[in-house]
Amino acid sequence: MAAKKARKRAKTTKKSRAKPRNSKATKAKKTAKVAKKTPKVEKKKEGLVVKFIRNFVRRMIDSMFAKKKNIKLGIYGPPNAGKTTLANQICKDWLGERMGSVSKIPHETRNVQVKEQVTIKYNDKEMAFNIVDTPGIATKIDYEDFMSYKMKSKQAKDRAKEATKGVIEAIKWLDEVDVCLVVLDSTENPYSQVNVTIIGNLAARDIPVLIVANKIDLRKANIRRVENAFPQYDVVGVSAEKGKNMEEFYESLFRLI
């Protein structure tokens, strides 16, 4: 009997110790939970705002300091005018290294060559260029012409094939260039079909052109004849090989842009 009573007492005590479902304590805890939740949501919101502002500021800074696009400077002209020699001279002046190989045999450059990030300074101005040296434009490419340079028939035929592809590639690149140098051999007749075609094409595309009358170191050079052939363009005489008159060349280049 005493044992029964003791069990009953124990039960009651347990029950009384058990937490009531809707007691004040539970309510308080719930409120605390809600209170805890609110700062979390707020924090999340705050985090998003901070993130947005941070990204916005970063974008602003990026756009402020974004690198200016390099100016694509195309070098066009007939074969052997000295386009690569000029490209080499420019690269030597500003990078201390050459760009491509030069030869007295026409169509030495048979692929478009690009030298990126060539920073040229003139007076207090500075501009970054991508220099695009192109294969010479020709209306006729005959492999037999190469054989007169002691080239074997197979080698001459390959060179002619590559040179023809090169002309097409050079013309395609007209869509890419921003400004253009047309290099002419100032000892030769400037009124050629090739010269007129190149310059006409550039004019039709509204690409600014500077005509470079090259090889002024040679006795036969005639800058005046080039100027008379293309009176609407600025003409600068240089010797790319000897590095003659390059200062005036850079001045004309900066005037063009």
Ligand X SMILES: Nc1nc2c(ncn2[C@@H]2O[C@H](COP(=O)(O)OP(=O)(O)O)[C@@H](O)[C@H]2O)c(=O)[nH]1
Binding site for ligand X (CB under 6 A): 77, 79-85, 102-104, 108-109, 136, 214-215, 217-218, 239-241
Binding letters toward Mg ion, positions 57-96, x by CB under 5 A: --------------------------xx------------
Q: How far apart are CB 105 and ligand X at their closest, in Å?
A: 8
- The residue (of 14 and 140) whose beta carbon lies closer to ligand X is 140
What are the CA-CA distances from residue 170 to residues 41, 65, 77 (Å)? 61, 33, 10
- Interacting partner of 217 out of ligand X, Mg ion, none (Cβ under 5 to 8 A depending on kind): ligand X
- Interacting partner of 218 out of ligand X, Mg ion, none (Cβ under 5 to 8 A depending on kind): ligand X
Geometric angle at alpha carbon 227, from 226 and 229, rounded to 5°: 65
Q: How far apart are CB 55 and ligand X at their closest, in Å?
A: 49
- The residue (of 62 and 97) whose beta carbon lies closer to ligand X is 97
What stretch of H or E contains 2? helix 2-17
- Interacting partner of 195 out of Mg ion, ligand X, none (Cβ under 5 to 8 A depending on kind): none
Site for Mg ion contains 109 (CB under 5 A)? yes
Q: How far apart are CB 134 and Mg ion at their closest, in Å?
A: 8
Of 197, 163, 169, whose CA–CA distance to 182 is shortest? 197
What are the CA-CA distances from residue 169 to residues 54, 159, 176 (Å)? 46, 15, 11
**CA 245 to CA 83: how far, in whole Å?**
16
User: Given the rule CB under 5 A, which of 49-57, 105-113, 117-125, 176-184 is the region that contacts Mg ion?
Assistant: 105-113
Side chain identity at residue 184, one-letter code: L
184 contacts: CB under 8 Å, gap ≥ 6: 77, 78, 81, 190, 195, 211, 212, 213, 214, 226
Residue number with the shortest CB distance to ligand X? 82
3-state SS assignment for residue 16: helix
- Interacting partner of 25 out of Mg ion, ligand X, none (Cβ under 5 to 8 A depending on kind): none
